[in-house]
């Protein structure tokens, strides 16, 4: 077996599996999205991210003939068996079950409609932003939040004669805020577990960036509302009992209750509330939990594949090659933090998936943070924040594609109205510059 205590020498060729993944996934995505689109299908989902990483893993195994196949299997097993990876996989299972049963029980729509019913028409647009922030924090998914709120944003835009792209862009920004902070978001799980820290620590570090950005965004939207008036919100049906579990989960998460306990309690509450209100049956409740877990399978498989590829790349000297480049350019703590930020944003730009980007960048980021004395909670915050920034901006990401499809507009038309992600970039930059 390999001597894991021996530091590998820098070897840029060990990064070829990542290059292959980018060519297969990004290349095919661009081709099928913009050059030869397939009707009714998003281009970046034609070639599976799992398949792309499988080819990358095959290439990683083919490298470094100095090690036997059995030794490489052992290296992969060590990477997959890391405590943080295993914990992350278990949380993904529970998060999927929670998301599935909450949606089937009517929790998301009732929560959104409840909040919408108390917002004055003049403040319809700022209200959409606040609701998107809260729903996304409770649900732990930006795409799910957009799916629930984008149709409502379209109605607000039509009723108030407001730009469709503006209203939908506001929802996307709020969804990314919540996704970045939520305790049950897969990005939070990935960022914290790969850096070996508690979720509350990352939450505190993130809040210092996300909250000021949200306040500035809200101020801009309020100024717009006072200048241009509001919109007729309409009537929205909701069930208070169906919304209640989301608020309880949100409060317990902020109070730093163990995420496993929170998710299990959330599943139980939604099953009870759903059955009592008639939105769920015993069969549909169990079925929805299973469907939710199944929805996490791709993320879990990608996590396992990335852990394997990353372990081999690290063993072959690929990470050391990146670190040596950053050492030449960084020189200090600020440079290290910039390196983490750019690395994460590049990975998201390439993969169009913020969770995958974090999982890929996290092992390298951990080395950088140790080398330059960056606190693990700040590293986790940069991973989560920078991936969410890029994911909320790229026109070929799931968030903008889903939003654009619902609104029947081009995803590129949303970019100028993504106020929150652009404000967040400014605050992240300021935080790095101010770092001592």
pLDDT tens profile 18-59:
889 888 887 888 888 778 888 777 676 788 878 988 999 999
Which phi and psi angles does 248 have, rounded to 5°? -65, -45
Asked if residue 173 has pLDDT above 90, the reply is yes
Work out the average pLDDT over 162-172. Answer: 90
Residue 266 has what pLDDT? 86
Q: How confident is the model at residue 385 (pLDDT cuts 50, 70, 90)?
A: very high
Residue 255 has what pLDDT? 72
Query: How far apart (Å, rounded) are the C-alpha atoms in residues 152 and 135?
Result: 13
Q: Any idea which of 53-57, 347-351, 384-388 has the lowest mean pLDDT?
A: 347-351
Q: Does residue 2 fall inside a structural domain? A: no
Name the region of 229 (left: φ>0; alpha: ψ -120 to 50; beta: rest): left
Tell me the two tokens of residue 24.
């297969």
Asked if residue 5 has pLDDT above 60, the reply is no
Q: Does residue 330 fall inside a structural domain? A: yes
Residue 335 has what pLDDT? 87
Query: How far apart (Å, rounded) are the C-alpha atoms in residues 171 and 129?
Result: 6
Query: How far apart (Å, rounded) are the C-alpha atoms in residues 309 and 312?
Result: 5
- Please check whether residue 396 is in contact with residue 405, taking contact to mean a CB–CB distance below 8 angstroms: no
Asked if residue 231 has pLDDT above 70, the reply is no
Q: Does residue 310 fall inside a structural domain? A: yes
Work out the average pLDDT over 111-120. Answer: 71
- Please check whether residue 432 is in contact with residue 334, taking contact to mean a CB–CB distance below 8 angstroms: yes
More confident of the two residues 426 and 150: 426
Q: Does residue 3 fall inside a structural domain? A: no
Q: Does residue 213 fall inside a structural domain? A: yes
Residue 141 has what pLDDT? 75
Name the region of 20 (left: φ>0; alpha: ψ -120 to 50; beta: rest): alpha
Q: Does residue 1 fall inside a structural domain? A: no
- Please check whether residue 302 is in contact with residue 105, taking contact to mean a CB–CB distance below 8 angstroms: no
Q: Any idea which of 10-19, 269-278, 391-400 has the lowest mean pLDDT?
A: 391-400
Question: Mean pLDDT in the chain?
Answer: 83
Residue 74 has what pLDDT? 94
pTM summary value: 0.70
Tell me the two tokens of residue 262.
């929170």
Q: Does residue 67 fall inside a structural domain? A: yes
Residue 429 has what pLDDT? 94
Residue 59 has what pLDDT? 95
Residue 4 has what pLDDT? 46
Q: Does residue 7 fall inside a structural domain? A: no
Q: Any idea which of 181-185, 281-285, 311-315, 350-354 has the lowest mean pLDDT?
A: 350-354
Domain that holds residue 129: 12-434
User: What pLDDT, in 10s, does the model give residues 260-305?
Assistant: 888 889 899 999 999 999 989 989 999 999 998 888 787 788 878 8
Domains identified in the chain, total number: 1
- Please check whether residue 363 is in contact with residue 314, taking contact to mean a CB–CB distance below 8 angstroms: yes
The whole-angstrom distance between residue 119's C-alpha and the CA centroid of its chain comes to: 28
């Amino acid at each position: 077996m390999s001597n894991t205590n021996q530091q590998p020498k820098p070897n840029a060729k060990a990064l070829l599996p990542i290059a292959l993944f980018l060519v297969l996934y990004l290349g095919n995505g661009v081709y099928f999205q913009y050059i030869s689109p397939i009707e009714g299908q998003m281009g970046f989902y034609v070639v599976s991210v799992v398949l792309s990483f499988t080819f990358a893993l095959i290439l990683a195994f083919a490298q470094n003939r100095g090690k036997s196949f059995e030794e490489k299997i052992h290296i992969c097993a060590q990477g997959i068996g890391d405590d943080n990876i295993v914990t992350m996989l278990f949380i993904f299972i529970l998060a999927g079950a929670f998301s599935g049963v909450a949606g089937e029980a009517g929790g998301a729509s009732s929560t959104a409609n409840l909040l919408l019913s108390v917002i004055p028409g003049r403040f319809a647009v700022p209200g959409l932003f606040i609701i998107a922030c809260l729903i996304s924090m409770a649900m732990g998914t930006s795409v799910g939040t957009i799916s629930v709120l984008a149709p409502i944003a379209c109605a607000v835009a039509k009723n108030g004669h407001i730009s469709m792209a503006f209203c939908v862009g506001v929802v996307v920004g709020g969804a990314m805020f919540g996704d970045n902070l939520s305790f049950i978001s897969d990005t939070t799980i990935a960022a914290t577990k790969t850096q070996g820290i508690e979720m509350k620590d990352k939450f505190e570090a993130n809040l210092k960036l996300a909250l000021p950005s949200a306040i500035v965004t809200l101020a801009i939207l309020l100024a717009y509302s006072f200048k241009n008036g509001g919109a007729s919100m309409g009537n929205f049906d909701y069930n208070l009992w169906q919304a209640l579990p989301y608020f309880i989960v949100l409060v317990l998460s902020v109070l730093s209750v163990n995420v496993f306990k929170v998710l299990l309690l959330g599943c139980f509450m939604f099953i009870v509330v759903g059955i009592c209100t008639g939105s769920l049956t015993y069969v549909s409740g169990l079925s929805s939990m299973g469907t939710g877990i199944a929805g996490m399978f791709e993320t879990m498989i990608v996590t396992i594949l990335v852990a394997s590829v990353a372990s081999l790349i690290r063993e072959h000297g690929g990470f050391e090659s990146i670190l040596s480049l950053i050492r030449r350019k960084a020189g200090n703590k600020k440079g290290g933090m910039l390196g983490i930020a750019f690395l994460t944003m590049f990975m998201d730009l390439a993969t169009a998936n913020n969770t995958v980007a974090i999982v890929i960048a996290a092992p390298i980021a951990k080395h950088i943070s140790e080398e330059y004395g960056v606190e693990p909670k700040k590293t986790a915050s940069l991973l989560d924040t920078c991936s969410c920034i890029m994911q909320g901006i790229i026109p070929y990401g799931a968030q903008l594609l889903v939003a654009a499809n619902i609104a029947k507009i081009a995803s590129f038309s949303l970019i100028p109205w993504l106020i929150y992600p652009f404000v967040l970039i400014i605050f992240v930059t300021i935080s790095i510059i101010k770092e001592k």
